[in-house]
Amino acid sequence: MCSIAAPEIFGSDELGHATVLIEGDVPVELQAKARRAQANCPEDAIIIEE
Amino acid sequence: MTTLEENSDPVNDPTTDYNIFDPEFVRDPYPTMTEIRESGCPIAHSNRWGGSWFPTRYEDVVAIAQEHEIFTSRDIIVVPRAAAQAEGPYAGVAAPPITSDPPDHHWHRRLILPIFAPQSVAKYEQGTRDLCNKLIDGFIAKGEADAGTDYAQQIPVRVIATMLGVPTEMADEFTGWVRGVLEVGLTDPKVRLESRLKILNFFRQQLDDRRANPREDDLITDLLNSGDKYPVTDQYVLGVCNLMLVAGIDTTWSAIGSSLWHMAQHPEHRKQLRDNPELWPTAIEELLRAYSPVTMARIVDRDTEFQGCPMKAGDRILMSFPAANRDPRQFDRPDDVILDREHNRHVAFGSGIHRCAGSNLARLELRVALQVWMERIPEFSLVDPATVIWAGGQVHGPRVCRVRF
Ligand code: HEM
Q: What is the CATH number of the domain that holds B375?
A: 1.10.630.10
CA separation for the pair B254, B241 (Å, rounded): 20
User: CB-based contact (8 Å) between A49 and chain B?
Assistant: no
Please report whether residue B38 resides in a domain: yes
Please report whether residue A31 resides in a domain: yes
CA separation for the pair B36, B28 (Å, rounded): 14
| Residue contact A42–B360, C-beta within 8 A | no
**Structural domain of A25:** 2-40
Ligand 1 touching residue B96 (CB < 6 A): no
Residue B221 in this model has a pLDDT that exceeds 80:
yes
Helix intervals (H) in B306-351: 321-324
Cβ count within 10 A of residue A44: 11
Taking alpha carbons only, the member of B316, B315, B325, B233 closest to residue B288 is B325
What pLDDT digit, counting tens, does each position of B258-309 carry? Answer: 999 999 999 999 999 999 999 999 999 999 999 999 999 999 999 999 999 9
Residue B84 in this model has a pLDDT that exceeds 50:
no
Q: How far is A21 from chain B (nearest CA, A)?
A: 15
What pLDDT digit, counting tens, does each position of B16-54 carry? Answer: 999 999 999 999 999 999 999 999 899 999 999 889 999
Q: What is the pLDDT of residue B5?
A: 67
Residue B88 in this model has a pLDDT that exceeds 80:
no
Ligand 1 touching residue B36 (CB < 6 A): no
Please report whether residue B4 resides in a domain: no
Q: What is the pLDDT of residue B2?
A: 58
pLDDT tier, B87 (very low <50, low <70, confident <90, very high otherwise): very low
Cβ count within 10 A of residue B232: 18
Q: What is the pLDDT of residue A16?
A: 67
Please report whether residue A24 resides in a domain: yes
User: CB-based contact (8 Å) between A45 and chain B?
Assistant: no
Distances in Å between the Cα of B72 and the Cα atoms of A10, B202, B299, B322 are: 32, 29, 5, 20
Of B119, B281, B349, the CB nearest to A4: B281
Please report whether residue A49 resides in a domain: no
Ligand 1 touching residue B135 (CB < 6 A): no
| Residue contact A16–B285, C-beta within 8 A | no
Q: How far is B109 from chain A (nearest CA, A)?
A: 10
Please report whether residue A47 resides in a domain: no
Three-state secondary structure call for residue B250 = helix
Three-state secondary structure call for residue B304 = strand
Q: What is the DSSP string of B167-197?
A: -GGGHHHHHHHHHHHHTHHHH-HHHHHHHHH
In chain A, which residue's Cα lies nearest the Cα of B286? A40
Residue B228 in this model has a pLDDT that exceeds 90:
no
Please report whether residue B7 resides in a domain: no
Please report whether residue A50 resides in a domain: no
CA separation for the pair B208, B225 (Å, rounded): 13
| Residue contact A42–B118, C-beta within 8 A | no
Q: What is the pLDDT of residue B72?
A: 95
Please report whether residue A27 resides in a domain: yes
Please report whether residue B91 resides in a domain: yes
What are the start-end ranges of the E strands in B195-322? Answer: 295-300, 304-306, 309-311, 316-320
Q: What is the pLDDT of residue B9?
A: 80
Distances in Å between the Cα of B36 and the Cα atoms of B14, B41, B63, B229, B332 are: 7, 7, 18, 47, 19
What pLDDT digit, counting tens, does each position of B348-404 carry? Answer: 999 999 999 999 999 999 999 999 999 999 999 999 999 999 999 899 999 999 999
- Greater model confidence, B149 or B246: B149
User: CB-based contact (8 Å) between A7 and chain B?
Assistant: no
Please report whether residue A48 resides in a domain: no
Ligand 1 touching residue B287 (CB < 6 A): no
Q: What is the pLDDT of residue B246?
A: 86
Q: How many domains does chain B have?
A: 1
Query: Which of B345, B359, B364, B367 is best to mutate for the A interface (most A CBs within 10 A)?
Result: B345
pLDDT tier, A1 (very low <50, low <70, confident <90, very high otherwise): low
CA separation for the pair B157, B252 (Å, rounded): 9
**Structural domain of B211:** 14-404
Q: How far is A24 from chain B (nearest CA, A)?
A: 25
Percent of chain B whose predicted confidence (pLDDT) is above 90: 69
Q: How far apart are the first and last CA of chain B?
A: 45
Please report whether residue B395 resides in a domain: yes
Q: What is the mean pLDDT of residues B101-115?
A: 87
Q: How many domains does chain A have?
A: 1
Ligand 1 touching residue B95 (CB < 6 A): no
pTM: 0.92
CA separation for the pair B332, B112 (Å, rounded): 36
Please report whether residue B5 resides in a domain: no
Please report whether residue B148 resides in a domain: yes
Q: What pairs with residue B167 in β-bridges?
A: none
CA separation for the pair B273, A27 (Å, rounded): 29
Q: What does residue B404 show for φ and ψ, rounded to 5 degrees?
A: -120, 145
Residue B106 in this model has a pLDDT that exceeds 60:
yes
What pLDDT digit, counting tens, does each position of B151-208 carry? Answer: 999 999 999 999 999 999 999 999 999 988 888 888 888 888 899 899 999 999 999 9
Alpha-carbon torsion B191, B193, B196, B202, what sign? negative
What pLDDT digit, counting tens, does each position of A14-37 carry? Answer: 766 777 777 777 878 888 787 777
Please report whether residue B8 resides in a domain: no
